[in-house]
A = this chain, B = another copy of it.
Amino acid sequence: MSNERIRNKELLGKIMSAEEASTLIKDGMVIGASGFTPSGYPKAVPFALAERVKATDEKMKLTLYSGASLGPEVDGAWAEAGIIAKRLPYQTNGTLRKEINAGNVEYLDMHLSHSTQYVSYGVLPKVDVAIVEALAITEEGHIIPTTAIGNTPTFIKSAEKVIVEINTSKPMALEGMADIYMTENPPYRQPIPITKPDQRIGTTYIECGLDKIAAIVETDLKDKARPLTPTDDVSRKISENILKFFRKEVAEGRLPKNLLPLQSGVGSVANAVLYGLCDSEFENLTCYTEVVQDSMLELVRCGKANLLSTTSISASPEGTEKFIEEIDFFKDKIILRPQEISNNPEVARRIGIIAMNTALEIDIYGNVNSTHVMGSKMMNGIGGSGDFARNASITIFTTAATAKGGDISSIVPMVSHVDHTEHDVMVIVTDQGVADLRGLSPKERALTIINNCVHPDYKPMLLDYYNRAMENGAKHTPHILDEALSWHSRFQKTGSMKIEK
Protein backbone atom coordinates (compact mmCIF):
# COMPACT_ATOMS: atom_id res chain seq x y z
CA MET A 1 0.00 0.00 0.00
CA SER A 2 1.18 3.56 -0.69
CA ASN A 3 2.87 5.77 1.88
CA GLU A 4 -0.06 8.09 1.50
CA ARG A 5 -2.47 5.43 2.78
CA ILE A 6 -0.30 4.15 5.62
CA ARG A 7 1.87 6.97 6.87
CA ASN A 8 3.78 5.12 9.55
CA LYS A 9 6.06 2.25 8.56
CA GLU A 10 5.57 0.53 11.90
CA LEU A 11 2.05 -0.27 10.76
CA LEU A 12 3.12 -2.19 7.66
CA GLY A 13 3.62 -5.32 9.74
CA LYS A 14 -0.06 -5.26 10.67
CA ILE A 15 -1.30 -5.68 7.11
CA MET A 16 -3.08 -8.98 6.66
CA SER A 17 -5.88 -10.64 4.73
CA ALA A 18 -9.51 -10.08 5.60
CA GLU A 19 -9.78 -13.74 6.58
CA GLU A 20 -6.86 -13.43 8.98
CA ALA A 21 -8.16 -10.19 10.49
CA SER A 22 -11.57 -11.75 10.98
CA THR A 23 -10.08 -14.28 13.41
CA LEU A 24 -9.67 -11.43 15.90
CA ILE A 25 -13.44 -11.53 16.29
CA LYS A 26 -14.51 -14.08 18.89
CA ASP A 27 -17.83 -15.46 20.01
CA GLY A 28 -19.65 -13.15 22.45
CA MET A 29 -17.82 -9.99 21.43
CA VAL A 30 -19.24 -6.51 20.95
CA ILE A 31 -18.31 -5.17 17.53
CA GLY A 32 -18.44 -1.48 16.63
CA ALA A 33 -18.59 -0.87 12.88
CA SER A 34 -17.95 2.34 11.01
CA GLY A 35 -20.56 3.38 8.48
CA PHE A 36 -23.85 5.19 8.22
CA THR A 37 -26.59 4.50 5.65
CA PRO A 38 -24.67 2.07 3.41
CA SER A 39 -21.65 4.38 3.29
CA GLY A 40 -18.19 4.07 4.77
CA TYR A 41 -18.81 0.67 6.37
CA PRO A 42 -16.28 -2.16 6.57
CA LYS A 43 -16.86 -4.80 3.93
CA ALA A 44 -14.00 -7.26 3.50
CA VAL A 45 -13.52 -8.37 7.10
CA PRO A 46 -17.20 -8.74 8.08
CA PHE A 47 -17.89 -10.64 4.88
CA ALA A 48 -14.90 -12.95 5.42
CA LEU A 49 -16.13 -13.68 8.94
CA ALA A 50 -19.63 -14.54 7.76
CA GLU A 51 -18.27 -16.81 5.04
CA ARG A 52 -16.07 -18.65 7.49
CA VAL A 53 -18.85 -19.19 10.01
CA LYS A 54 -21.19 -20.36 7.27
CA ALA A 55 -18.54 -22.82 6.03
CA THR A 56 -17.50 -24.14 9.43
CA ASP A 57 -20.55 -23.90 11.67
CA GLU A 58 -18.31 -22.21 14.22
CA LYS A 59 -20.20 -20.97 17.29
CA MET A 60 -20.44 -17.18 16.97
CA LYS A 61 -22.95 -14.73 18.47
CA LEU A 62 -22.06 -11.05 18.34
CA THR A 63 -23.47 -7.71 19.39
CA LEU A 64 -23.18 -5.26 16.53
CA TYR A 65 -23.12 -1.48 17.01
CA SER A 66 -22.94 0.92 14.08
CA GLY A 67 -23.64 4.52 13.16
CA ALA A 68 -26.76 3.63 11.22
CA SER A 69 -27.55 1.08 8.47
CA LEU A 70 -24.74 -1.01 7.01
CA GLY A 71 -24.45 -2.76 3.65
CA PRO A 72 -25.22 -6.39 2.84
CA GLU A 73 -21.61 -7.49 3.53
CA VAL A 74 -22.33 -6.88 7.21
CA ASP A 75 -26.03 -6.75 8.08
CA GLY A 76 -27.06 -9.14 5.33
CA ALA A 77 -24.20 -11.62 5.51
CA TRP A 78 -24.13 -11.68 9.30
CA ALA A 79 -27.89 -12.15 9.55
CA GLU A 80 -27.66 -15.00 7.04
CA ALA A 81 -24.85 -16.59 9.00
CA GLY A 82 -26.96 -16.21 12.14
CA ILE A 83 -24.21 -14.47 14.09
CA ILE A 84 -26.04 -11.33 15.26
CA ALA A 85 -27.44 -11.69 18.76
CA LYS A 86 -28.08 -7.99 19.26
CA ARG A 87 -28.03 -5.06 16.85
CA LEU A 88 -28.26 -1.30 17.34
CA PRO A 89 -29.07 1.53 16.63
CA TYR A 90 -30.50 1.23 13.07
CA GLN A 91 -30.69 -1.11 10.08
CA THR A 92 -32.37 -1.30 6.70
CA ASN A 93 -31.36 -4.76 5.49
CA GLY A 94 -34.04 -7.16 4.24
CA THR A 95 -32.45 -10.32 5.59
CA LEU A 96 -31.75 -8.79 8.97
CA ARG A 97 -35.27 -7.35 9.10
CA LYS A 98 -36.69 -10.86 8.67
CA GLU A 99 -34.55 -12.18 11.50
CA ILE A 100 -35.62 -9.29 13.76
CA ASN A 101 -39.30 -9.88 13.05
CA ALA A 102 -38.89 -13.62 13.48
CA GLY A 103 -37.64 -12.87 16.98
CA ASN A 104 -34.13 -14.18 16.32
CA VAL A 105 -32.25 -10.89 16.70
CA GLU A 106 -32.69 -8.46 19.59
CA TYR A 107 -32.82 -5.07 17.90
CA LEU A 108 -32.53 -1.72 19.70
CA ASP A 109 -34.18 0.88 17.58
CA MET A 110 -32.69 4.02 19.17
CA HIS A 111 -32.37 7.75 18.68
CA LEU A 112 -29.06 7.86 16.81
CA SER A 113 -27.69 10.61 19.05
CA HIS A 114 -28.47 8.46 22.10
CA SER A 115 -26.37 5.62 20.71
CA THR A 116 -23.16 7.62 21.07
CA GLN A 117 -23.96 8.54 24.65
CA TYR A 118 -24.98 5.03 25.65
CA VAL A 119 -21.49 3.87 24.69
CA SER A 120 -19.59 6.80 26.17
CA TYR A 121 -21.63 6.75 29.41
CA GLY A 122 -20.93 3.04 29.83
CA VAL A 123 -24.62 2.13 29.63
CA LEU A 124 -23.90 -0.28 26.81
CA PRO A 125 -21.07 -2.84 27.06
CA LYS A 126 -17.72 -1.61 25.78
CA VAL A 127 -16.66 -2.34 22.22
CA ASP A 128 -14.26 -5.28 21.97
CA VAL A 129 -13.31 -4.81 18.34
CA ALA A 130 -13.99 -1.79 16.14
CA ILE A 131 -13.90 -2.46 12.40
CA VAL A 132 -13.53 0.79 10.53
CA GLU A 133 -13.14 1.81 6.93
CA ALA A 134 -10.44 4.41 6.33
CA LEU A 135 -8.86 6.42 3.57
CA ALA A 136 -5.56 6.32 5.37
CA ILE A 137 -3.82 6.01 8.73
CA THR A 138 -1.69 8.95 9.88
CA GLU A 139 1.85 8.90 11.21
CA GLU A 140 0.38 8.87 14.75
CA GLY A 141 -1.99 6.01 13.99
CA HIS A 142 -5.07 8.18 13.65
CA ILE A 143 -7.82 7.32 11.18
CA ILE A 144 -8.74 9.41 8.13
CA PRO A 145 -12.35 8.39 7.55
CA THR A 146 -13.96 7.88 4.16
CA THR A 147 -17.55 8.91 3.37
CA ALA A 148 -19.24 8.54 6.75
CA ILE A 149 -18.31 9.34 10.33
CA GLY A 150 -21.27 8.01 12.34
CA ASN A 151 -20.18 6.63 15.71
CA THR A 152 -16.69 5.66 14.60
CA PRO A 153 -14.83 8.07 16.95
CA THR A 154 -16.80 6.72 19.92
CA PHE A 155 -16.29 3.08 18.94
CA ILE A 156 -12.55 3.54 18.45
CA LYS A 157 -12.30 5.25 21.84
CA SER A 158 -14.25 2.43 23.50
CA ALA A 159 -12.57 -0.47 21.66
CA GLU A 160 -9.84 -2.80 22.85
CA LYS A 161 -8.68 -3.43 19.29
CA VAL A 162 -9.27 -1.74 15.95
CA ILE A 163 -9.30 -3.43 12.56
CA VAL A 164 -8.80 -0.90 9.77
CA GLU A 165 -9.99 -1.52 6.24
CA ILE A 166 -8.07 0.81 3.94
CA ASN A 167 -10.43 1.26 1.01
CA THR A 168 -8.53 2.28 -2.10
CA SER A 169 -11.74 2.70 -4.11
CA LYS A 170 -12.24 5.93 -2.17
CA PRO A 171 -9.99 8.72 -3.40
CA MET A 172 -7.56 10.51 -1.10
CA ALA A 173 -9.19 13.74 -2.24
CA LEU A 174 -11.88 13.03 0.36
CA GLU A 175 -9.30 13.84 3.05
CA GLY A 176 -10.23 17.08 4.77
CA MET A 177 -13.99 16.74 4.65
CA ALA A 178 -14.18 15.21 8.11
CA ASP A 179 -14.53 17.50 11.11
CA ILE A 180 -14.15 15.42 14.25
CA TYR A 181 -15.27 17.04 17.48
CA MET A 182 -16.24 14.96 20.48
CA THR A 183 -18.15 16.00 23.57
CA GLU A 184 -17.10 15.17 27.11
CA ASN A 185 -19.52 13.36 29.37
CA PRO A 186 -21.46 15.54 31.84
CA PRO A 187 -20.65 17.31 34.11
CA TYR A 188 -17.66 18.31 32.00
CA ARG A 189 -19.44 18.94 28.70
CA GLN A 190 -18.92 22.35 27.09
CA PRO A 191 -21.13 24.16 24.56
CA ILE A 192 -20.72 22.79 21.04
CA PRO A 193 -19.37 25.88 19.24
CA ILE A 194 -21.64 25.70 16.19
CA THR A 195 -23.99 28.55 15.34
CA LYS A 196 -23.98 27.99 11.58
CA PRO A 197 -23.76 24.79 9.53
CA ASP A 198 -20.53 25.85 7.82
CA GLN A 199 -18.36 26.04 10.93
CA ARG A 200 -15.48 23.60 11.26
CA ILE A 201 -14.67 22.94 14.90
CA GLY A 202 -12.52 19.80 14.99
CA THR A 203 -9.84 17.69 13.35
CA THR A 204 -9.80 15.95 9.98
CA TYR A 205 -8.84 12.62 11.57
CA ILE A 206 -10.27 10.34 14.25
CA GLU A 207 -7.99 9.73 17.20
CA CYS A 208 -6.89 6.14 17.54
CA GLY A 209 -3.13 5.66 18.07
CA LEU A 210 -0.71 3.03 16.79
CA ASP A 211 -1.19 0.58 19.66
CA LYS A 212 -4.91 0.02 19.22
CA ILE A 213 -4.58 -0.94 15.60
CA ALA A 214 -4.58 -4.73 15.52
CA ALA A 215 -4.96 -5.35 11.82
CA ILE A 216 -4.96 -3.50 8.53
CA VAL A 217 -6.75 -4.90 5.52
CA GLU A 218 -6.59 -3.48 2.04
CA THR A 219 -9.73 -3.53 -0.05
CA ASP A 220 -11.23 -1.79 -3.03
CA LEU A 221 -14.81 -2.95 -2.52
CA LYS A 222 -17.30 -0.21 -3.23
CA ASP A 223 -20.18 0.68 -0.90
CA LYS A 224 -23.32 -1.16 -1.94
CA ALA A 225 -25.11 2.13 -2.45
CA ARG A 226 -28.86 2.28 -2.75
CA PRO A 227 -30.18 2.73 -6.28
CA LEU A 228 -31.66 6.11 -7.12
CA THR A 229 -35.36 6.20 -6.27
CA PRO A 230 -37.28 7.67 -9.21
CA THR A 231 -39.50 10.64 -8.43
CA ASP A 232 -43.14 9.68 -8.91
CA ASP A 233 -46.27 11.81 -9.08
CA VAL A 234 -47.14 11.36 -5.42
CA SER A 235 -43.67 12.49 -4.31
CA ARG A 236 -43.85 15.43 -6.67
CA LYS A 237 -47.18 16.52 -5.18
CA ILE A 238 -45.79 16.25 -1.66
CA SER A 239 -42.80 18.31 -2.76
CA GLU A 240 -45.05 20.98 -4.26
CA ASN A 241 -47.05 21.10 -1.05
CA ILE A 242 -43.93 21.56 1.06
CA LEU A 243 -42.72 24.38 -1.18
CA LYS A 244 -46.12 26.05 -0.85
CA PHE A 245 -45.79 25.79 2.91
CA PHE A 246 -42.29 27.31 2.84
CA ARG A 247 -43.52 30.21 0.68
CA LYS A 248 -46.30 30.93 3.14
CA GLU A 249 -43.89 30.89 6.09
CA VAL A 250 -41.52 33.30 4.33
CA ALA A 251 -44.38 35.58 3.24
CA GLU A 252 -45.69 35.74 6.79
CA GLY A 253 -42.24 36.49 8.21
CA ARG A 254 -41.81 33.27 10.16
CA LEU A 255 -38.90 32.03 8.05
CA PRO A 256 -36.03 33.96 6.46
CA LYS A 257 -35.93 34.03 2.66
CA ASN A 258 -33.19 31.40 2.61
CA LEU A 259 -35.20 29.30 5.09
CA LEU A 260 -33.33 27.68 7.97
CA PRO A 261 -30.88 24.75 7.85
CA LEU A 262 -32.61 21.81 6.19
CA GLN A 263 -32.59 18.29 7.56
CA SER A 264 -34.04 15.66 5.30
CA GLY A 265 -34.64 11.95 5.61
CA VAL A 266 -34.04 9.65 2.65
CA GLY A 267 -36.22 8.20 -0.07
CA SER A 268 -38.27 9.36 -3.02
CA VAL A 269 -40.20 12.09 -1.19
CA ALA A 270 -37.03 13.57 0.28
CA ASN A 271 -35.45 13.52 -3.17
CA ALA A 272 -38.50 15.16 -4.75
CA VAL A 273 -38.48 17.95 -2.16
CA LEU A 274 -34.80 18.68 -2.67
CA TYR A 275 -35.08 18.54 -6.47
CA GLY A 276 -38.10 20.83 -6.09
CA LEU A 277 -35.93 23.33 -4.22
CA CYS A 278 -33.44 23.24 -7.13
CA ASP A 279 -36.21 24.45 -9.44
CA SER A 280 -37.50 27.02 -6.94
CA GLU A 281 -36.82 30.67 -6.15
CA PHE A 282 -35.09 29.78 -2.86
CA GLU A 283 -31.39 30.61 -2.64
CA ASN A 284 -28.45 30.47 -0.25
CA LEU A 285 -29.85 27.37 1.41
CA THR A 286 -27.90 25.42 4.00
CA CYS A 287 -28.30 21.83 5.17
CA TYR A 288 -27.60 20.38 8.59
CA THR A 289 -28.51 16.76 8.24
CA GLU A 290 -27.36 13.20 8.77
CA VAL A 291 -27.34 11.82 5.20
CA VAL A 292 -26.54 13.43 1.89
CA GLN A 293 -28.08 11.67 -1.10
CA ASP A 294 -28.00 12.51 -4.82
CA SER A 295 -30.65 15.19 -4.52
CA MET A 296 -28.78 17.09 -1.81
CA LEU A 297 -25.60 17.01 -3.86
CA GLU A 298 -27.70 18.37 -6.72
CA LEU A 299 -28.84 21.22 -4.48
CA VAL A 300 -25.21 22.31 -4.25
CA ARG A 301 -24.50 21.61 -7.90
CA CYS A 302 -27.43 23.78 -9.02
CA GLY A 303 -26.13 26.61 -6.85
CA LYS A 304 -29.06 26.73 -4.42
CA ALA A 305 -27.15 25.46 -1.39
CA ASN A 306 -23.75 26.59 -0.25
CA LEU A 307 -22.97 23.96 2.29
CA LEU A 308 -23.91 20.51 3.49
CA SER A 309 -23.20 19.48 7.05
CA THR A 310 -23.79 15.74 7.45
CA THR A 311 -22.42 12.56 8.95
CA SER A 312 -22.64 10.54 5.74
CA ILE A 313 -22.51 10.87 1.97
CA SER A 314 -24.63 8.10 0.53
CA ALA A 315 -25.43 8.65 -3.12
CA SER A 316 -26.58 6.07 -5.67
CA PRO A 317 -23.88 4.17 -7.57
CA GLU A 318 -24.08 6.62 -10.51
CA GLY A 319 -24.37 9.58 -8.09
CA THR A 320 -21.27 8.43 -6.25
CA GLU A 321 -19.31 8.17 -9.46
CA LYS A 322 -20.32 11.69 -10.46
CA PHE A 323 -19.53 13.00 -6.97
CA ILE A 324 -16.05 11.48 -7.07
CA GLU A 325 -15.41 13.11 -10.44
CA GLU A 326 -16.41 16.47 -9.03
CA ILE A 327 -14.70 16.03 -5.71
CA ASP A 328 -12.67 19.24 -6.00
CA PHE A 329 -15.86 21.23 -6.45
CA PHE A 330 -17.49 19.64 -3.41
CA LYS A 331 -14.48 19.52 -1.15
CA ASP A 332 -15.09 22.76 0.73
CA LYS A 333 -18.87 22.44 0.53
CA ILE A 334 -19.32 19.33 2.65
CA ILE A 335 -18.50 18.89 6.34
CA LEU A 336 -18.62 15.34 7.68
CA ARG A 337 -19.34 15.33 11.43
CA PRO A 338 -19.71 12.59 14.04
CA GLN A 339 -23.40 11.75 14.54
CA GLU A 340 -23.11 13.02 18.11
CA ILE A 341 -22.70 16.45 16.48
CA SER A 342 -24.79 16.12 13.30
CA ASN A 343 -27.76 14.89 15.34
CA ASN A 344 -27.15 16.83 18.53
CA PRO A 345 -30.27 18.33 20.13
CA GLU A 346 -28.22 21.33 21.30
CA VAL A 347 -27.26 22.29 17.77
CA ALA A 348 -30.63 21.38 16.23
CA ARG A 349 -32.45 23.64 18.68
CA ARG A 350 -29.98 26.50 18.39
CA ILE A 351 -29.72 26.74 14.62
CA GLY A 352 -33.45 26.06 14.23
CA ILE A 353 -33.39 23.13 11.85
CA ILE A 354 -36.32 22.45 9.53
CA ALA A 355 -36.76 18.71 10.00
CA MET A 356 -38.37 16.77 7.14
CA ASN A 357 -38.91 13.07 7.73
CA THR A 358 -41.15 10.31 6.47
CA ALA A 359 -43.99 8.68 8.39
CA LEU A 360 -45.32 5.17 7.95
CA GLU A 361 -48.67 6.30 9.32
CA ILE A 362 -50.10 9.30 11.14
CA ASP A 363 -53.22 9.53 13.25
CA ILE A 364 -55.89 12.20 13.24
CA TYR A 365 -54.34 13.86 16.29
CA GLY A 366 -50.89 14.09 14.75
CA ASN A 367 -49.05 11.15 16.32
CA VAL A 368 -46.55 9.60 13.93
CA ASN A 369 -45.48 5.98 13.48
CA SER A 370 -42.16 5.78 11.61
CA THR A 371 -41.12 2.25 12.43
CA HIS A 372 -43.72 -0.45 13.11
CA VAL A 373 -45.93 -2.01 10.42
CA MET A 374 -49.25 -2.89 12.09
CA GLY A 375 -47.80 -2.19 15.53
CA SER A 376 -45.41 -5.14 15.72
CA LYS A 377 -43.27 -5.54 12.61
CA MET A 378 -40.10 -3.48 12.43
CA MET A 379 -39.54 -1.70 9.16
CA ASN A 380 -36.17 0.08 9.57
CA GLY A 381 -36.04 2.19 12.72
CA ILE A 382 -36.45 5.73 14.03
CA GLY A 383 -32.92 6.70 13.01
CA GLY A 384 -32.17 10.36 13.59
CA SER A 385 -35.72 11.55 12.97
CA GLY A 386 -36.41 11.94 16.70
CA ASP A 387 -33.17 13.80 17.37
CA PHE A 388 -34.22 16.37 14.82
CA ALA A 389 -38.01 16.36 15.20
CA ARG A 390 -38.09 17.18 18.91
CA ASN A 391 -35.64 20.02 18.69
CA ALA A 392 -36.24 21.55 15.26
CA SER A 393 -37.86 24.93 14.72
CA ILE A 394 -40.28 23.28 12.27
CA THR A 395 -40.95 19.55 12.27
CA ILE A 396 -42.54 18.24 9.08
CA PHE A 397 -43.65 14.65 8.46
CA THR A 398 -44.51 13.48 4.98
CA THR A 399 -46.35 10.42 3.72
CA ALA A 400 -48.34 9.37 0.68
CA ALA A 401 -51.99 9.50 1.74
CA THR A 402 -52.41 5.81 0.91
CA ALA A 403 -50.25 2.71 0.55
CA LYS A 404 -50.65 -0.81 -0.87
CA GLY A 405 -52.58 0.38 -3.90
CA GLY A 406 -55.06 2.24 -1.74
CA ASP A 407 -55.78 -0.56 0.72
CA ILE A 408 -53.99 1.25 3.52
CA SER A 409 -54.82 4.78 4.58
CA SER A 410 -51.68 6.41 5.93
CA ILE A 411 -53.96 8.51 8.12
CA VAL A 412 -55.71 6.35 10.70
CA PRO A 413 -57.84 6.90 13.82
CA MET A 414 -54.96 5.87 16.08
CA VAL A 415 -51.45 4.87 15.06
CA SER A 416 -50.43 1.36 16.03
CA HIS A 417 -47.08 2.60 17.36
CA VAL A 418 -45.88 6.09 18.30
CA ASP A 419 -42.40 7.34 17.44
CA HIS A 420 -43.18 11.06 17.37
CA THR A 421 -45.91 12.33 19.65
CA GLU A 422 -48.56 14.95 18.95
CA HIS A 423 -46.35 17.32 20.98
CA ASP A 424 -43.50 17.08 18.46
CA VAL A 425 -45.28 16.91 15.14
CA MET A 426 -45.90 20.37 13.68
CA VAL A 427 -46.74 19.99 10.02
CA ILE A 428 -48.07 17.02 8.04
CA VAL A 429 -47.74 16.92 4.28
CA THR A 430 -49.29 14.32 1.99
CA ASP A 431 -49.98 14.31 -1.73
CA GLN A 432 -53.45 15.59 -0.75
CA GLY A 433 -52.27 18.71 1.06
CA VAL A 434 -50.72 20.35 4.12
CA ALA A 435 -51.93 20.30 7.72
CA ASP A 436 -50.17 22.95 9.79
CA LEU A 437 -50.90 21.70 13.30
CA ARG A 438 -49.00 24.37 15.20
CA GLY A 439 -51.19 26.18 17.69
CA LEU A 440 -54.10 23.78 17.23
CA SER A 441 -55.93 21.77 19.89
CA PRO A 442 -56.43 18.02 19.28
CA LYS A 443 -59.94 18.51 17.86
CA GLU A 444 -58.76 21.32 15.57
CA ARG A 445 -55.87 19.11 14.46
CA ALA A 446 -58.18 16.19 13.66
CA LEU A 447 -60.40 18.26 11.38
CA THR A 448 -57.41 19.94 9.70
CA ILE A 449 -55.73 16.61 8.99
CA ILE A 450 -58.94 14.94 7.79
CA ASN A 451 -59.83 17.86 5.56
CA ASN A 452 -56.38 18.55 4.11
CA CYS A 453 -54.35 15.35 4.07
CA VAL A 454 -56.56 12.29 3.78
CA HIS A 455 -57.33 10.42 0.54
CA PRO A 456 -60.98 10.95 -0.55
CA ASP A 457 -61.67 7.20 -0.17
CA TYR A 458 -60.98 7.41 3.56
CA LYS A 459 -62.20 10.91 4.42
CA PRO A 460 -65.84 9.94 5.15
CA MET A 461 -64.68 6.98 7.26
CA LEU A 462 -62.37 9.14 9.37
CA LEU A 463 -64.99 11.86 9.76
CA ASP A 464 -67.47 9.22 10.85
CA TYR A 465 -65.01 7.86 13.43
CA TYR A 466 -64.27 11.35 14.73
CA ASN A 467 -67.93 12.35 14.95
CA ARG A 468 -68.89 9.19 16.80
CA ALA A 469 -65.86 9.58 19.10
CA MET A 470 -67.12 13.08 19.92
CA GLU A 471 -70.34 11.49 21.20
CA ASN A 472 -68.50 8.74 23.05
CA GLY A 473 -66.84 10.27 26.08
CA ALA A 474 -64.28 12.88 27.07
CA LYS A 475 -63.91 15.45 24.32
CA HIS A 476 -60.29 16.54 24.64
CA THR A 477 -58.91 13.82 22.35
CA PRO A 478 -62.05 11.98 21.28
CA HIS A 479 -61.53 8.24 20.73
CA ILE A 480 -63.48 5.00 20.77
CA LEU A 481 -60.94 2.63 22.28
CA ASP A 482 -62.69 -0.54 21.04
CA GLU A 483 -62.45 0.79 17.51
CA ALA A 484 -59.27 2.88 17.54
CA LEU A 485 -57.05 0.13 16.12
CA SER A 486 -59.80 -1.61 14.10
CA TRP A 487 -58.54 -0.27 10.78
CA HIS A 488 -55.31 -2.19 11.32
CA SER A 489 -57.15 -5.33 12.40
CA ARG A 490 -59.36 -5.09 9.34
CA PHE A 491 -56.34 -4.82 7.08
CA GLN A 492 -54.79 -7.85 8.75
CA LYS A 493 -57.99 -9.85 8.25
CA THR A 494 -59.22 -8.64 4.86
CA GLY A 495 -56.18 -7.11 3.19
CA SER A 496 -57.78 -3.67 3.15
CA MET A 497 -58.64 -0.90 5.57
CA LYS A 498 -61.74 -0.19 3.52
CA ILE A 499 -65.05 -1.47 4.81
CA GLU A 500 -66.44 -4.22 2.58
CA LYS A 501 -69.69 -3.31 0.95
Residues of A bordering B, CB below 8 Å: 86, 100-103, 106-111, 114, 117-118, 121-125, 185-187, 189-193, 195-196, 252-254, 256, 260-261, 344-346, 348-352, 367, 372-378, 382, 386, 390-391, 393, 414, 416-421, 423-424, 438-441, 443-444, 469-470, 472-479, 481-482, 484-485, 488-489, 492
Contact = CB atoms under 8 A, between A and B. Distances in A.
17 contacts: A103-B443, A103-B475, A118-B439, A123-B439, A185-B352, A186-B350, A187-B261, A190-B350, A345-B348, A345-B349, A375-B477, A376-B478, A378-B476, A378-B477, A386-B424, A481-B488, A482-B485
B106 A441 contact: yes
B260 A187 contact: yes
Given A186-B351, A191-B191, A476 B441 contact: no
Copies of this subunit: 2
B86 A441 contact: yes
**6 closest A-B pairs (Cβ-Cβ)?**
A186-B352, A103-B475, A377-B474, A106-B441, A418-B418, A191-B191
Given A187-B256, A351-B189, A393 B345 contact: no
Nearest to A97: B476
B476 A423 contact: no
A176 to B, nearest CB: 26
Given A118-B439, A377-B474, 20 more contacts: A103-B475, A103-B476, A106-B444, A107-B441, A108-B439, A111-B423, A187-B256, A187-B261, A187-B351, A189-B351, A191-B193, A191-B346, A191-B350, A376-B473, A376-B476, A378-B474, A390-B391, A391-B391, A420-B421, A482-B489
Contacts of A376: 469, 472-479
